[in-house]
Amino acid sequence: MKMLNQEQIREVFERFKKNNPDPKTELENHNTFTLLVSVVLSAQMTDKGSI
């Protein structure tokens, strides 16, 4: 697998931003911390569900 360099990563994110300037999430959150907790719990549920 080829890793991207910093410039390529920036380019990818710029393209994401151009195609979807105001992305929404299905996870409910009130601030950055609660979003992080929601993501972690969601990932744990996915991991548990695949066992």
The predicted-structure confidence for 1-42, as pLDDT tens digits, reads as follows: 899 999 999 999 999 999 999 988 777 778 989 888 888 888
What is the amino acid identity at position 28?
E
Is residue 35 within 8 Å of residue 27, measured between CB atoms?
Answer: yes
Give the domain ranges of the chain. Answer: 27-51
CB count in 10 Å sphere of residue 38:
15
Predicted TM-score of the model (pTM): 0.49
Tokens of 26: 């299905």
Provide the pLDDT for residue 41. Answer: 83
Furthest C-alpha separation in the chain:
38
3: burial class by Cβ within 10 Å (0-12, 13-18, 19+)? Answer: exposed
